């Protein structure tokens, strides 16, 4: 066993990401002078303040544990195409659980903060990204950087348990008993997969118009975007809307009592599933309204809050086996919300934000890992289409999404 300081053991909702070595990237495009030394100093300061960034995994007799890394992670630099923000990055969850990768081409660059999904979800990581750019700006301007030290983030299981929320147990089963996680493939049976991202970004005027449409129709922006995506996927797949299973994530931080701070927990999220009924009209507004009702119902009955706990649990031993059925047509959207304004020094502009990701998959899973990520940066909505490299339908998806959103926006004019 290591002599490194042990932070704690991974819980079931964290281990699922270790099983597939999943890193998620938060990429900012820059134009202007980027100071490598200042970036290294800023990243080191954020890692000191947030020990999860300077941790690694280690296996012991009881499973996986988070331990302090032997050396702090370093900023990695490569020359290349900023549209490929993970170029040159080296990742290993047994050495580091975060990385900062820079891909430069003249005055343009992509700067990507990567966090292992076991230590942070999107809202957690975007808060860290904001701290990073704040520190970078201060370092360039000669302002001392001394962030307050934070404790290691807590697990979803602990945060929910102290609020009286537990998974649903089978008859005669103790819901507070340790979770029995779903068996995963051996690491040797998986291959590394980087999802290629193309983004459709609305203008500021289009973003404002979409928000006005949602307000008028009493549908959230997330509902409208989700509805637009479902219409695209129905067209691409040649299926009616009611046959698509929509999967989405929900940030629980402000939906718990008391609320949870941005970096207080590792993955403070729930997952929702939605299938439109036959009577839901084929429009983004109608679909978004039905989705919003399903979300409110799931939060009211607690199924959204418990969803990740239930997902990682095997059926009880006495449960009846479920009959085999064809795999559903799944559509996945993650809405990361609004990226806060990021501070920068004079001479450097941040022009765009997008997601990136890298994980291990079974060879036969490559075609099933496409999905969408929505964000709002600098007053403009961006929708990332994240699919394996070379997906033959990616270009058509992008065109249909653009056309669908243009039609939707025109309704508010």
C-alpha span between 335 and 320 (Å, rounded):
36
Question: How would residue 179 be classed by pLDDT, with cut points 50, 70 and 90?
Answer: very low
pLDDT given for residue 27 in this prediction? 98
Whether residue 176 has pLDDT greater than 70: no
**What would the two tokens of residue 186 be?**
């051996």
DSSP string, 68-86: E-SS---EEEEES-TTSTT
C-alpha span between 18 and 341 (Å, rounded):
31
Q: 347 to each of 34, 107, 112, 350, how far by Cα in Å?
A: 9, 11, 19, 10
Domains in the chain: boundaries: 6-147, 195-316+326-341+364-410
- Segment 19-34, tens digit of pLDDT: 999 999 999 999 999 9
What proportion of the chain, given as a percentage, has pLDDT over 70? 89
* Bridge partner list, 27: 112, 354
- Segment 35-65, tens digit of pLDDT: 999 999 999 999 999 999 999 999 987 789 9
pLDDT given for residue 315 in this prediction? 54
Question: How would residue 324 be classed by pLDDT, with cut points 50, 70 and 90?
Answer: low
Whether residue 318 has pLDDT greater than 50: no
Nearest partner of 344 among 125, 28, 41, judged by Cα: 28
Whether residue 106 has pLDDT greater than 60: yes
pLDDT given for residue 325 in this prediction? 58
The dotted CATH code for 195-316+326-341+364-410 is 3.30.559.30
Whether residue 174 has pLDDT greater than 60: no
Give the mean pLDDT of 251-274.
97
Nearest partner of 403 among 284, 278, 245, 242, judged by Cα: 284
C-alpha span between 88 and 42 (Å, rounded):
21
pLDDT given for residue 249 in this prediction? 94
Please check whether the domain covering 6-147 is classified as CATH 3.30.559.10: yes
Chain Cα centroid distance, residue 81: 23
243 three-state secondary structure: helix
The angle subtended at Cα 372 by Cα 392 and Cα 391, nearest 5°, is 10
- Is the pTM value of this prediction over 0.85? yes
The helix (run of H) or strand (run of E) holding residue 36 is helix 36-49
pLDDT given for residue 1 in this prediction? 45
**Phi/psi at 129 (nearest 5 deg)?**
-60, -40
Question: How would residue 388 be classed by pLDDT, with cut points 50, 70 and 90?
Answer: confident
Question: How would residue 181 be classed by pLDDT, with cut points 50, 70 and 90?
Answer: very low
**What would the two tokens of residue 411 be?**
């309704």
Least confident of 70-84, 206-220, 360-374: 360-374
Give the mean pLDDT of 203-231.
96
Neighbours of 116 (CB within 10 A): 27
Question: How would residue 173 be classed by pLDDT, with cut points 50, 70 and 90?
Answer: low
pLDDT given for residue 187 in this prediction? 53
DSSP string, 294-323: HHHHHHHHTHHHHHHHHHTSPPPTTSPPPP
C-alpha span between 93 and 56 (Å, rounded):
6
**What would the two tokens of residue 3 be?**
């002599």
Question: How would residue 365 be classed by pLDDT, with cut points 50, 70 and 90?
Answer: low
Residue 3 neighbours by CB under 8 Å, 6+ apart: none
Max Cα-Cα span within the chain? 65
131 three-state secondary structure: helix
C-alpha span between 250 and 304 (Å, rounded):
8
pLDDT given for residue 35 in this prediction? 97
346 three-state secondary structure: coil
pLDDT given for residue 330 in this prediction? 93
């Amino acid at each position: 066993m290591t002599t490194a300081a042990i932070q704690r053991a991974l819980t079931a909702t964290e281990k699922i990401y270790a099983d597939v070595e999943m890193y998620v990237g938060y990429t900012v495009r820059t134009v202007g002078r980027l100071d490598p030394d200042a970036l290294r100093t800023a990243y080191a300061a954020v890692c000191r303040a947030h020990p999860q960034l300077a941790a690694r995994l280690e296996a012991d007799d009881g499973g996986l544990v988070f331990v302090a890394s032997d050396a702090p992670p370093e900023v990695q630099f490569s020359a290349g195409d900023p549209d490929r923000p993970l170029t040159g990055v080296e990742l290993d969850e047994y050495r580091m659980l975060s990385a900062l990768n820079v891909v430069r081409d003249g005055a343009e660059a992509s700067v990507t903060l990567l966090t292992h999904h076991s230590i942070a979800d999107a809202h957690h990581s975007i808060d860290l990204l904001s701290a990073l750019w704040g520190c970078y700006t201060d370092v360039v301007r000669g302002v001392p950087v001394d962030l307050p030290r934070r404790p290691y983030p807590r697990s979803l299981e602990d945060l929910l348990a102290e609020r009286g929320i537990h998974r649903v147990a089978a008859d005669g089963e103790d819901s507070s008993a340790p979770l029995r996680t779903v068996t995963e493939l051996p690491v040797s049976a998986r291959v590394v997969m980087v999802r290629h991202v193309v983004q459709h970004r609305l203008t500021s005027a289009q973003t404002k118009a979409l928000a006005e449409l949602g307000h008028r129709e009493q549908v959230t922006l997330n509902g409208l975007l989700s509805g637009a995506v479902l219409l695209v996927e129905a067209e691409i797949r040649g299926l009616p809307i009611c046959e698509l299973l929509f999967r989405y994530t929900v940030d629980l931080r402000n939906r718990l009592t008391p609320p949870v701070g941005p970096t207080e927990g590792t993955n403070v999220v729930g997952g929702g599933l939605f299938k439109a009924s036959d009577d839901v009209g084929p429009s983004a507004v109608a679909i978004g309204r039905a989705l919003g009702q399903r979300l409110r119902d799931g939060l009211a009955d607690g199924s959204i809050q418990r969803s990740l706990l239930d997902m990682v649990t095997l059926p009880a031993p006495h449960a009846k086996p479920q009959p085999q059925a064809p795999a559903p047509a799944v559509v996945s959207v993650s809405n990361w919300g609004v990226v806060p304004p990021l501070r920068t020094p004079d001479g450097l502009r941040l022009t765009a934000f997008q997601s990136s990701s890298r994980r291990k998959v079974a060879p036969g899973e490559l075609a099933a890992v496409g999905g969408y990520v929505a964000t709002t940066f600098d007053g403009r909505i961006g929708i990332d289409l994240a699919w394996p490299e070379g997906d033959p339908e990616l270009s058509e998806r992008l065109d249909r999404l653009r056309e669908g959103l243009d039609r939707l926006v025109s309704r508010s004019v």
